[in-house]
Structure formats: structure tokens, C-alpha cells
A and B are shown apart, each in its own frame.
Chain A
Amino acid sequence: MLSRIKPFIESVGTKATSKVESAGRLGIFILNTLSRLWMFRFPLTETIKQIQFIGARTVPLIIISGLFTGMVIALQFYDTLIRFGSVELLGAAVAMSLIRELGPVMAALMVIARVGSATCAEIGIMRNEQQFDALDCMGIDSYHYVMLPRLMAALISVPLLTAIFDVLGIGGGYIVGVLIHGVSDGAYLIGMADTIVWKDVSMGIIKSSLFALLIIWISMAKGFYLHIEQKQSGAEGVSQATTEAVVLSAVLMLFVDYIVSSLML
């Protein structure tokens, strides 16, 4: 009996310690990256390059997804509100749900899909091709040269992308509510302006900044520690690490979303 239970307990133990180790590595990774802020000069050129990749090139995706998200929630809210005869609340409802919740979450999901996966794969391949060893040997700090610019660029870009998402979403809601279903445009816009307060906006900014940190952190670390965490090297390892990065950052993002909402509401 014992001989059957022992391997099971062993495997549970091994899994548990590997998870703890992995969490520890994540912690060390972000501390190392952040410490480069005061150890070196700010990597401005690289950060601008990354803003181009993380921010500017994600804008088209954010525009399309923002517009459709706004349109569909306007449709749903219109259908609900008309039953209670209060369609004039449409603008407020659309804007409130976008700014507080859907904007940060949907924009973050788009960033995970486009930036998180690409970043993890790129850094994983850099690890596979000994590029981090090469950086070490050239006396160039990997955290300062590769990680910090990406972290900074994400922290700057994601809240801005979220803002674009919100604006386009409100525009999409306007198209469906005002142009298609004939809600008065005054009610839509003034209702929105009257309801939204700074606390709603700040909640959106806090959420999107936290999501940015979370996404880029996990994506970079999963790629960077590829050689330690993945059983297979090569393409298999990169694909596995990318999957883990995307799943983990999406799940943690939703968890953090709930925590922040419950703390701020």
C-alpha cells in the first residue's frame, strides 16, 4: 500500500516545490528588472522602440475591438433599458461599464494576444539562441537592455490603449444607440457626462497599469527562464512557454481585476 502512495506523494511534493520555485523566480525577475531603474541610465531609445511595438502597432486592433465591444454592449443595454423605459440611461451605462471594467479587461486581453505571446516567444528564442549569454559576455546587462524597456513601454502604452478602447467603445455605443435605435444624442452624451466621475476613470487607469505590469512581467519571465522551466528545448519549449505565459497572464489579470474592483467600489 505504502509503495503505491509514496510515488504519488512524491510527485505532489515535486510539483508543489517547482511551483514555489517558479513563483520565487518571478519575484526575483521583477526585482532585478526594477532595480535597473536606478542602477543605470534610463534606456530611452529602446523604450521608444518598444512603445512603437507594444503601443502604436496595437492601435488598429484596439480600434476594431473597442468599436465592436461598444456596439454590442450598447445593443444589450438598449434591449434591457427599453423594457424599463429608461433608454436615456444608455450613454451612462455604456460609458460606465467600458471605463470601469470592459475597457481595461478587453484591451488587456488584446495586449496579451498580440504583445504577451510575441514577447514571450521572442525572449524564449533569444534564450535558445544563446543571445542572453552573448549579452552577458559583452558586458551588457540583459535586464537593463531587454527587460526594462519592455516593462516601461507596457506601463506607458497599455493605459493609453485602454483610453483609446474606451473612446471607440463609447463611439460604437453612439452608433448603435443614437444612429440606429434613435436614442436622443443629448441624452446619450449628457447622461454619460453627468454620471462618470473621476473615481471611475482612476479605477480604469489603475487597472490597466496593473494589467500592463502583469502581462509583460509574466511574458518576459516565462521566456527568460525557458531553459530552467521547460522540459523540452527548441520550438516545443518556446511554444509551451508562450502558452503558459498567455494563460497565466489572462487568469491572473481577471483575478486582479476582481480584487481591484472590490477594493475600489
Chain B
Amino acid sequence: MTNSVQHIIEAKNLVSHYGDRQVLNNVDFKVAKGEIRVIMGGSGSGKSTLLNHLLALLKPTSGDIVVDGVDVVNADRKTLLALRKKTGVAFQSGALFSSMTVGENIKLPLVRHTKLDANTIDIMTRLKLELMNLAGFEHLMPSELSGGMLKRAGLARAVIMDPKLLFFDEPSAGLDPVTAVELDELILKLRDAMNMTIVVVTHELESAFKIADKITVLFDGSVAVTGTVEEIKNSPDERIQNLINRRPRNEVVNAEQYIERLTTGKN
């Protein structure tokens, strides 16, 4: 059935632990080429952990992850390096280096990985700054930028090598609504103009519905559902309807356990 679709990311039976606590439980996650996939879920649902596994920043307890044909769980340093040159990551708060100007930050991957001359690198850097509406800010230090600008600068650095695959962690968290919408537009523009596959981790519903081709919703470390925006909106799953309609969780209180927690302080 899925043979006709080429997957750029394929994670199977992913299990992950922090110490003794299980964070991901048998997660399957596939992303097709050219797709914008949103990973959604509340705090503690495991979405950041899943992202860290896809980026090969964490090793899973068990399971396979193949990104662009590379088995990232067992890949050696060189294979991983080659993959990372084709992958861009925009971090939640930009993760720019505070000791360098914005321009130096953005051109860093080009300086380290290519033999292009300084002029070409400068022009490519300015092109990306223009794309992110940051023209003229290249000589400022990161500390002089606002939160939204930092995110856009982080995004500029993530796409400076023209990656095939882009990961974006919480694009709209902590931004005002207008800036958040601008970032969403940017993500769509990047996919259309540069034909990227984009994986976005967010808990902002509005943003997710606007940009996603498909949404994967995580609950307590498991995939609750993966589907198009319509499918998610019409999902019969009560937890998803709670998430969409911002209803608080109706946890059934077990009286004995409740008393136990109160008296002993143990969970």
C-alpha cells in the first residue's frame, strides 16, 4: 500500500527511557518526502524525545530509525555527519552562539562544511536573511534580537545549506500571534520554494492546522493517531477532542491511590 510513497523518515517500534521512566512506547513514525508533518501533544507526551531520537541526539532503548536511507541508531560518525549536512534543525529559542554576530552564526555551517569563498558565503547568508525578513541585522549580536527574530535567525541557519529535510522545534511557542503566523507562512514558503520535507514539533493547534499535511498526535509516549488535519479534527478519540477543544483532562480519581499519594508522597 505504501510502496508508491517514498518515506524520508521511518521509525519503527521506538522505545525510549529516561532512567527507569519509559518515555516512548512502541512509536511508529513515517514521513513522506515533501510533506509537512506536525508532531503534536501536550507537555510530557514524548514529542521532544521523539524529535531528539530523529536527530540522533539520543539513542533509543530499542527500535529502528532510518532517516534518508541512513540507520541513525547504528550509524558511524562519518555517515551521520554526511546526513547532518543535508538536514537542518531550528531550535526552540534559536540556539545561536552568543559570542558571534547573527551573520556569523548563520554562515557557520557554510564556513565549516564548504570551501566557498567569503564573498559567496556572505551573499548566501544575506539571501537567507532576506528570506527571513532579517535583512540588515547580520552585524547585531543575538542578545540584541527579540524572541521571534531569534527563531527566524535560527531558521536561517538551519536552511543555509539548503537541506532536504528540516526539523523545527516549537516555532510559535512564546511568540505574539502575528509573529507566529508569519513564521507559519515562512514554513509553507520554504516547502514550496525549496521542496523541503519539514517536521514541526508544536503544541499550538492553530499553527498545526495551518501548516500540516499530516499531524501525528502523541499521548503518554504513544502515537494516538496520525492523519490529515480533517481526520484529526473529526477524530472520535476523546483525548484528541479534549486537546482540540482545550478541555482539561478528566482523570478518574482512584480514592485509595489518592489517599496513598497524599499520605506517603509517593506516586
| Chain A positions near chain B (C-beta within 8 angstroms) | 122, 125-126, 129-131, 133-134, 136-140, 145
How many of chain B's residues touch chain A, expressed as a range? 20 to 34
CB neighbours (8 Å) of A131 from chain B are: 95-97
Asked if B92 contacts A130 (CB within 8 A), the reply is: yes
CB neighbours (8 Å) of A134 from chain B are: 89, 91, 95
How far is A122 from B57 in the complex, measured between Cα atoms in Å? 21
Distance from A19 Cβ to chain B, minimum over Cβ atoms (Å): 19
Supply 8 further A-B pairs (C-beta < 8 A) apart from A139-B80, A139-B84, A139-B85. A130-B92, A131-B96, A131-B97, A137-B57, A137-B167, A138-B84, A138-B108, A138-B157
CB neighbours (8 Å) of B99 from chain A are: 122
How far is A120 from B55 in the complex, measured between Cα atoms in Å? 26
Verify if B115 is at the interface (C-beta below 8 Å from A): no
Verify if B207 is at the interface (C-beta below 8 Å from A): no
Verify if B87 is at the interface (C-beta below 8 Å from A): yes
| Chain B positions near chain A (C-beta within 8 angstroms) | 52, 55-57, 80-81, 84-85, 87, 89, 91-93, 95-99, 108-109, 112-113, 157, 167
Asked if A137 contacts B97 (CB within 8 A), the reply is: no
Which single member of B57, B85, B108, B109 contacts A133 (CB below 8 Å)? Answer: B57
How far is A135 from B123 in the complex, measured between Cα atoms in Å? 23
Asked if A140 contacts B112 (CB within 8 A), the reply is: yes
How far is A122 from B91 in the complex, measured between Cα atoms in Å? 19
Nearest CB in chain A to that of B87: its residue: A137
How far is A129 from B99 in the complex, measured between Cα atoms in Å? 13
Asked if B81 contacts A139 (CB within 8 A), the reply is: yes
Asked if A133 contacts B91 (CB within 8 A), the reply is: yes
Dominant secondary structure at the A interface:
helix
How far is A130 from B85 in the complex, measured between Cα atoms in Å? 18
Distance from B244 Cβ to chain A, minimum over Cβ atoms (Å): 29
Interface pairs A-B: 6 shortest CB-CB: A139-B84, A134-B95, A137-B89, A130-B95, A139-B81, A138-B109
Distance from B172 Cβ to chain A, minimum over Cβ atoms (Å): 18
How far is A172 from B51 in the complex, measured between Cα atoms in Å? 60
How far is A137 from B113 in the complex, measured between Cα atoms in Å? 13
Nearest CB in chain A to that of B112: its residue: A140
Nearest CB in chain A to that of B58: its residue: A133
Dominant secondary structure at the B interface:
mixed
CB neighbours (8 Å) of A137 from chain B are: 55, 57, 84, 87, 89, 167
CB neighbours (8 Å) of B85 from chain A are: 139
How far is A134 from B57 in the complex, measured between Cα atoms in Å? 10
How far is A41 from B84 in the complex, measured between Cα atoms in Å? 20
A sample of 24 inter-chain contacts (CB < 8 A) reads A129-B93, A129-B98, A130-B92, A130-B93, A130-B95, A131-B95, A131-B97, A133-B55, A133-B89, A133-B91, A133-B95, A134-B91, A136-B55, A136-B56, A136-B57, A137-B55, A137-B57, A137-B87, A137-B167, A138-B84, A138-B112, A138-B157, A139-B85, A139-B112
How far is A122 from B92 in the complex, measured between Cα atoms in Å? 19
Asked if A129 contacts B112 (CB within 8 A), the reply is: no
Asked if A130 contacts B108 (CB within 8 A), the reply is: no
CB neighbours (8 Å) of B167 from chain A are: 137
Most B-side CB within 10 Å, residue of A125, A129, A131: A129
How far is A140 from B157 in the complex, measured between Cα atoms in Å? 13
CB neighbours (8 Å) of A133 from chain B are: 52, 55, 57, 89, 91, 95
Asked if A139 contacts B55 (CB within 8 A), the reply is: no
CB neighbours (8 Å) of B92 from chain A are: 130
- Given A136-B57, A137-B84, A139-B81, are A130 and B109 also a contact pair (CB < 8 Å)? no
CB neighbours (8 Å) of B97 from chain A are: 126, 131
Asked if A140 contacts B91 (CB within 8 A), the reply is: no
CB neighbours (8 Å) of A139 from chain B are: 80-81, 84-85, 109, 112-113
How far is A230 from B102 in the complex, measured between Cα atoms in Å? 30
Distance from B133 Cβ to chain A, minimum over Cβ atoms (Å): 21
How far is A94 from B52 in the complex, measured between Cα atoms in Å? 58
CB neighbours (8 Å) of B157 from chain A are: 138
Most A-side CB within 10 Å, residue of B56, B80, B89: B89
CB neighbours (8 Å) of A126 from chain B are: 97
Distance from A188 Cβ to chain B, minimum over Cβ atoms (Å): 45
Most B-side CB within 10 Å, residue of A122, A136, A139, A145: A139
CB neighbours (8 Å) of A125 from chain B are: 98
CB neighbours (8 Å) of A129 from chain B are: 93, 95, 98
CB neighbours (8 Å) of B81 from chain A are: 139
How far is A126 from B98 in the complex, measured between Cα atoms in Å? 9
How far is A125 from B95 in the complex, measured between Cα atoms in Å? 10
Nearest CB in chain A to that of B83: its residue: A139
